[in-house]
Amino acid sequence: MHPAFSVLIFTVTSGAGYGLITLLVLAQLAGLPALQDRTLLLSGTGLALAMITVGLLSSTLHLANPKNAWRAFARFRTSWLSREAVFAVLFYPVALLYLFGIFRQGAELNGFFTVCGALAAGLAMVTLFSTSMIYASLRTIRQWCTPLTPLNYLALGLMSGALWLTALQALLQDKLSPALQGTALGLVLLGTVAKLIYLFWIGKPAGATIRTATGFTQASVRLLDAGHSAGTFLTDEFGYNVAADKLLRLRFAMLGLAFLLPFLLLWQGPALAMLLAALLCMAGLLMERWLFFAEARHVVRLYHGAPRT
């Protein structure tokens, strides 16, 4: 699949934003001492909202006809993209109320604002889940059509959110909260495991071949002519090809940036290192998302001559 930059930015930043706000609310509600701090809550929520907003704005860049974007709520009942849009929009009022609550009441939120926070956290996760289901529901792309996709999206969103939260906390409070550090380390481990399982899983040969796709299962099948000599929408969108050795190098870079380095920095722990960890992770996740697209092989490629997906 062709990785559209706007979609990469969107899923990575909004994922981190949703992860951040979810963890923040949970930690605050759970009474984690570090989170009973108005400044941290304000800046954390603000950052989350900013990331989510940047992400959503970026996502509209990928629309070829954005003037109809408002119609995206129409098919809530069947479309995960529509659901994502609806949840994303529903998220805003409660998240803003929560922000308002913190602004007015600091960490000591009344019931109403607490509920808003809980709702925001819930909607954040649901939105993130919806995003992941857009991909996971596509039977045409073997590499996406798996429960591993939502698992990865959720794990990586929470992981990057945790890194941001830890970084903010460390920066604002001078002293790193071991609980946050522990959570973040745990989530990085979870993310790593989820990603490794995913990579292992998509490496297994499976799925349709050019023979099954054309129905000529008795003999070898080769494409002689695609019916066009230059590219088309289909070849641009689905025919994205990257050399195998380049993919491998990128995978290692991605694992290092998104997981290994943040993990090490987090382990060590000076405040600035936390920020670095979060930033490196974001870069790593951009690569991860790029690979998520680049390694996804749509079945229509078979009709364009690919021997298998």
Partner 1 sequence: MAKLGLVVDLDTCVGCHGCATACKQWNTSGTIGPLSDSDPYGRDPSGAWLNRIRTYEVGDTPNSKTVNMPMSCMHCEDAACVTVCPTGASYKRKEDGIVLVDQDKCMGCNLCSWACPYGARELDPQQGTMKKCTLCVDRIYDERLPEEERKPACVITCPTKSRVFGDFDDPDSEVSKLVRERGGQQLMPELGYNPVNTYLPPRNKKAVEVYEVKPSLGKTVKQWVNKVIAR
Partner 2 sequence: MNTLTTDLPCDLEPQDLIDTLAVELPEFEPRESQQTKYTTCYMCACRCGIKVTVEDNKVRYIQGNPNHPINKGVLCAKGNSGIMKQMSPAKLRTPLLRKPGTERGAGEFEEISWDRALDILEQRLAHIRATDPNKLAYFTGRDQMQALTGMWASQFGTLNWAAHGGFCSVNMAAGGLYTLGHAFWEFGDPDWANTKYFMLWGVAEDHSSNPIKLGLKTLKERGAKFVAVNPVRTGYQAIADEWIAIRPGTDAMLALSMVHVLLKHRLIDDEFLIRYTNAPQLVVNTPGQKGDGLFYRSPVSEGKASEIQVWDLNSETFADASRADIAPALFGEFTAPDGTPLRTSMSILVDKYLDDQYAPENAARECGVSAETIERLALEMAHVAFKESITLDVEWTDWAGRKQTQFIGRPVSMHAMRGISAHSNGFQTCRAIHLLQVLLGTIDCPGGHLAKPPFPKHIPPGIKPAKVSAPNTPLKSPPLGFPTCPEDLVIDGDGKPLRIDKAYSWDAPISAHGLMHMVISNAVNGDPYRIDTLMLFMANMAWNSSMNTAQTLEMLCAKEDDGEYKIPFIVCSDAFHSEMVAYSDLVLPDTTYLERYDTISMLDRPISEPHAACDSVRIPVIEPDRDVLSWQEVMIEMAGRLGFPAFTREDGSRKYEGYKDFIINFEKEPGIGFLAGYRGKEGDKSLRGEPNPRQWEAYEENEGFFEFHLAPNQRYLRHANRDYLELAKEAGWVGSTDQIVIELYSEKLQTFRLAGQGLYDGPMPTEAHHKARLQKYFDPLPFYYMPLEEQRIDRDEYPFHAVNQRPMFMYHSWDSQNAWLRQIMSQNYLFMNRVAAEKAGIEDLSWVWVESHNGRIRVQVKLMEGCNEQTVWTWNAIAKQKGAWGLSKDANEATDGFLMNHLISELLPRKGDELDRVTNSDPVTGQAAWYDLRVKITPAAAGETGTWPTFREVKPLPGAKASPQALSYATHRNVNLKRPMHDILTRGEK
Tell me which residues touch partner 2 (CB under 8 A). 74-75, 77-79, 222, 224, 227-230
Cβ–Cβ < 8 Å for 17, 52: yes
Closest alpha carbon to 76 in 68, 66, 84: 84
Q: What is the DSSP letter of 33?
A: G
Contacting residue, 221, 250, 279, 283, with partner 1 by CB under 8 A:
221
Binding status of residue 92 toward partner 1 by CB under 8 A: no
* Biggest CA-to-CA distance, the chain: 72
Q: What does 66 interact with, of partner 1, partner 2, none (CB < 5 to 8 A by kind)?
A: partner 1
**Token pair in block for residue 147:** 């429960």
Binding status of residue 79 toward partner 1 by CB under 8 A: yes
Distances (CA, A) of 127 to 29, 54, 176: 21, 15, 30
Binding status of residue 153 toward partner 1 by CB under 8 A: no
Q: What is the DSSP letter of 167?
A: H
**Token pair in block for residue 110:** 């009344």
Measure the CA–CA gap between 163 and 253, rounded to whole angstroms: 19
Q: What does 208 interact with, of partner 1, partner 2, none (CB < 5 to 8 A by kind)?
A: partner 1
Binding status of residue 306 toward partner 1 by CB under 8 A: no
Contacts with partner 1 by CB under 8 A: the residue count is 56
Q: Which CB sits closer to partner 1, 138 or 258? A: 138
Q: Which positions touch partner 1 (CB under 8 A)?
A: 1, 62-69, 71-75, 78-82, 85, 134, 137-141, 208, 210, 212-216, 218-228, 230-234, 237-238, 298-300, 303-304
